[in-house]
Amino acid sequence: MERRTYTPRKNDLVRHWFIVDAEGQTLGRLASVIAQTLRGKTKPHYAPHMDTGDFVIVINAEKVAVSGNKELQKIYYRHSNYPGGLRAVPLREMRATHPERILEAAVRGMLPRNVLGEQQLRKMKVYAGHSHPHAAQNPKPLSLSPRVARP
């Protein structure tokens, strides 16, 4: 009898919607749980070459916590692709202007750097405040405890 590797089909996948309140949560720990959920690593049908993950809504992104002196020392870089176009923005200023980008950058760093990673990142919806337009999807609260996929 020949054994074959199991690959889930698209119609086998069931995508759920989860909601996370980022208020008071540590940035890196929260980002790793979100990245695992977006990739689908907590599901029994996980496949590294497919997008098997769920949708994640993050609210109160402006109130995410960072440890140590990162508020002043952590720098976000971007480039305009023009000579001399490198911009460096500290975390404190990023939190004041675009607080959702802080969490997006942290989760992006934990996803694959290819088309699949971009597809998984699009399933994350980040909002600086408490309100979000996804009430129709009936999101469930996401458990932030260490999650282990069971065989």
Residue 151, pLDDT above cutoff 60: no
**Contact call for residues 121 and 107 (beta carbons, < 8 A):** yes
Q: What is the pLDDT of residues 86-95, one digit of tens each?
A: 999 999 999 9
Could you tell me the residue ranges of all domains in the chain? 16-66+98-141
Residue 1, pLDDT above cutoff 90: no
Residue 84, pLDDT above cutoff 90: yes
pTM attached to this predicted model: 0.91
Q: What is the pLDDT of residues 100-123, one digit of tens each?
A: 999 999 999 999 999 999 999 999
- The verdict on domain 16-66+98-141 having CATH code 3.90.1180.10 is yes
Q: What is the average pLDDT score of the chain?
A: 93
* Positive or negative torsion for Cα 94, 95, 98, 104: positive
Residue 148, pLDDT above cutoff 80: no
Indicate the length of the chain as a whole number: 151
Nearest residue to 51 via CA among 149, 4, 117: 117
C-alpha to C-alpha distance for 34 and 48, rounded to whole angstroms = 16
Give the per-residue pLDDT at 150: 45
